[in-house]
């Protein structure tokens, strides 16, 4: 389809032509925002180049937003969590400065692993999802899964002779977030399956885990995934998120929305 070229179009005809052209070029945000931006440009006496730049930047911003929304959906986060909404006052064991560094996602670019370790209610799952979301917003491909669900998926794939394909799929993201590692003990077969995913990513892409098992008492890691222990203890960004033992602090943790 070719649009007729005409000079001296009326405002109504020009608006219709712009709408048709935007549909052909697949520019929905430009079509939706053109009128408002054009009216503002005329009022502020913006140059043609300035108007065009503002219009195109609006289209770029909308495309980036929609791309992030698709990636967040594909990541499979169990719930929405944000670093901006996290109550650091309710989590004294979590250092805001360290989280700020992690939010830059430089550790993902360097393919470093991350461990979030602490008691229930310390904010591990919250922080795992929030940091994963920050990574998505910075353009990283992220997948998130509960440890036991990931192992079950791998076991089913192994039964169907699709294990290599499944392991490769989990290896094609920049950051793999594994939550609740240690809540349910894995048998030897499950640990070996999980280990395949981890070795697929070692020194190539990042892994972030949240676990209630202290590395000082890591019997779960030794029993079920001893070789993974070596990977995770080498992490530069190991964050201890231990909840306070005082009764008042525990009540504060429970009141803090979103913490597990």
Closest listed residue to residue 210, CA positions, set 140, 153, 259: 259
Same domain, 116 and 34: no
Residue 60 falls within a domain, yes or no? yes
How many residues are recorded in the chain?
260
Separation of alpha carbons 127 and 94, rounded Å: 10
Number of domains in the chain: 2
Select from 48, 70, 92 the last residue of a domain: 70
Same domain, 37 and 108: no
**Which position has the token pair 């495309």?**
63
Question: Residue 160 to residues 82, 83, 153, 189, 254: CA-CA distances in angstroms?
Answer: 38, 40, 11, 15, 43
CATH of residue 152: 3.40.50.300
pLDDT at 254: 32
Residue 6 falls within a domain, yes or no? no
Beta bridge partners of 142: 175
CB 123 within 8 A of CB 94: yes
pLDDT in tens, the chain (260 residues): 555 655 667 778 888 888 888 888 888 888 888 888 988 888 888 898 888 898 889 888 888 888 888 888 888 998 888 888 877 766 556 778 888 889 999 999 988 888 888 777 777 888 899 999 999 989 899 999 999 999 999 999 999 999 999 988 888 899 999 998 877 777 888 888 888 888 878 778 899 988 876 544 444 444 434 334 333 444 445 555 444 333 433 333 233 333 33
Same domain, 169 and 217: yes
pLDDT at 104: 92
Residue 186 falls within a domain, yes or no? yes
Closest listed residue to residue 211, CA positions, set 242, 182, 170, 186: 182
Same domain, 131 and 107: yes
pLDDT at 129: 92
Residue 4 falls within a domain, yes or no? no
Q: Which two tokens stand for residue 230?
A: 């070596």
Q: Which two tokens stand for residue 161?
A: 């002779």
Same domain, 110 and 173: yes
Residue 1 falls within a domain, yes or no? no
CA terminus-to-terminus distance, the chain: 56
Q: What share of the chain is helix, strand, coil (3-state, %, to 5)?
A: 60, 10, 30
pLDDT at 216: 45
Residue 78 falls within a domain, yes or no? no
Question: Residue 43 to residues 15, 30, 37, 73: CA-CA distances in angstroms?
Answer: 18, 19, 10, 40
Same domain, 229 and 202: yes
Same domain, 100 and 169: yes
What's phi and psi for 124, nearest 5 deg?
A: -65, -50
Same domain, 27 and 94: no
pLDDT at 2: 59
pLDDT in tens, 129-175: 999 999 998 989 999 999 999 999 999 999 999 999 998 888 889 99
Residue 3 falls within a domain, yes or no? no
pLDDT at 243: 41
pLDDT at 239: 58
Residue 75 falls within a domain, yes or no? no
Q: Is this model's pTM higher than 0.85 or not?
A: no
The DSSP H or E segment spanning 211 is: strand 206-211
Question: Residue 254 to residues 81, 87, 260: CA-CA distances in angstroms?
Answer: 17, 12, 8
Range of the domain at 33: 11-70
């Amino acid at each position: 389809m070719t649009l007729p070229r005409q000079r001296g179009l009326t405002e109504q005809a020009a608006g219709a032509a712009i709408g048709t052209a935007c549909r052909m070029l697949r520019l929905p945000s430009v079509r939706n925002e053109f009128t408002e931006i054009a009216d503002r440009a005329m009022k502020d006496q913006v140059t043609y180049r300035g108007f065009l730049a503002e219009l195109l930047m609006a289209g770029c911003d909308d495309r980036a937003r929609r791309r992030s929304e698709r990636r967040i959906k594909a990541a499979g986060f169990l719930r929405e969590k944000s670093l901006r909404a996290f109550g650091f006052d309710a989590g004294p064991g979590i250092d805001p400065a360290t989280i700020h560094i992690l939010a830059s996602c430089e550790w993902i670019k360097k393919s470093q692993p991350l461990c979030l370790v602490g008691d229930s209610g310390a904010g591990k799952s919250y922080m795992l999802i929030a940091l994963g979301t920050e990574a998505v917003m910075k353009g990283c491909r992220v997948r998130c899964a509960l440890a036991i669900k990931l192992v079950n998926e791998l076991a089913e794939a192994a039964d169907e002779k699709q294990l290599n394909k499944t392991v490769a799929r989990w290896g094609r993201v920049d950051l793999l977030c594994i939550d609740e590692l240690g809540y349910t003990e894995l048998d030897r077969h499950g640990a070996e399956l999980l280990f395949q995913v981890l070795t697929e990513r070692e020194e190539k892409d990042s892994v972030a885990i949240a676990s209630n098992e202290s590395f000082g008492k890591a019997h779960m890691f030794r029993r079920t995934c001893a070789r993974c222990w070596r990977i995770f203890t080498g992490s530069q960004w190991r964050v201890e998120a231990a909840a306070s033992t005082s009764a008042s602090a525990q009540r504060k943790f429970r009141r803090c929305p979103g913490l597990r």
